[in-house]
């Protein structure tokens, strides 16, 4: 798990010799069996901070959990705890403004803001995506968001999606 989520690959490649893999690899520093469970273990893994872009929560999580959950050598995997060193958390700048600015933009006060992710996450045309946004807002939601898989695919380009959503 430590190797797969850092410098490891399924085969040796010639470019391995062009870097210090040992410097950048994740390390499993402790393994303990799960009490009462056969062939189940808790693994403690540490990563060098140089693997992560400063201030990028997205990069950190993608690096740690993005690829390894599809690792065929495992039957199951679960992330139970994550500890981030203070030196790394200090690189996060935070949002450009707080919740009050969002409430002011939406003119919504005194209650939680309600939103959803449009589904299906992939496959809708930009027009139908905009229609789904319209129905969500018409139904009382304050906002919608794109699923992380949505970007600017050929069937739903970002600009087209933006225009239909703005119309909604």
Judged against a pLDDT cut of 90, whether residue 143 lies above it is answered with yes
Q: What is the pTM of this model?
A: 0.57
Q: Domains of the chain (ranges plus CATH)?
A: 2-90 (3.30.70.150), 99-167 (no CATH)
Predicted pLDDT of residue 30: 93
SS3 108: coil
Q: What average pLDDT score do residues 126-130 get?
A: 95
DSSP codes of every residue in 31-95: EEEPTT-TT-EEEEEE--GGGS-TT-HHHHHIIIIITGGG-TT-S----------HHHHTT----
pLDDT in tens, 28-80: 999 999 999 998 999 999 999 988 899 988 888 888 887 777 777 777 788 88
Q: What average pLDDT score do residues 88-113 get?
A: 91
Predicted pLDDT of residue 36: 94
Asked if omega into 37 is within 30° of 0 (cis), the reply is no
Q: How confident is the model at residue 93 (pLDDT cuts 50, 70, 90)?
A: confident
CA–CA separation, 21 vs 52, rounded Å?
A: 15
CA–CA separation, 93 vs 12, rounded Å?
A: 38
Q: Which of 48, 39, 47 is nearest to 73 (CA)?
A: 39
Q: Which residue has the tokens 């808790």?
A: 42
Q: How confident is the model at residue 100 (pLDDT cuts 50, 70, 90)?
A: very high
The tokens for 78 are: 């679960």
């Amino acid at each position: 798990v430590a190797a797969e989520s850092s410098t490891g690959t399924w085969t040796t490649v010639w470019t391995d010799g062009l870097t210090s893999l040992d410097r950048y690899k994740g390390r499993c520093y402790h393994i303990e069996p799960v009490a009462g469970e056969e062939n189940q273990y808790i693994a403690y893994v540490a990563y060098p901070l140089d693997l992560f872009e400063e201030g990028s929560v997205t990069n950190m999580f993608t690096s740690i959990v993005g690829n390894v959950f599809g690792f065929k050598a495992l039957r199951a995997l679960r992330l139970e705890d994550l500890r981030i060193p203070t030196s790394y958390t200090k690189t996060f700048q935070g949002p450009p403004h707080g919740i009050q600015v969002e409430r002011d933009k939406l003119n919504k006060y005194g209650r939680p803001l309600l939103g959803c992710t449009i589904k299906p996450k992939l496959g809708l045309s930009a027009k139908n995506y905009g229609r789904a946004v319209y129905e969500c807002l018409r139904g009382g939601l304050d906002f919608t968001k794109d699923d992380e898989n949505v970007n600017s695919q050929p069937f739903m380009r970002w600009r087209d999606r933006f225009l239909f959503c703005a119309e909604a």
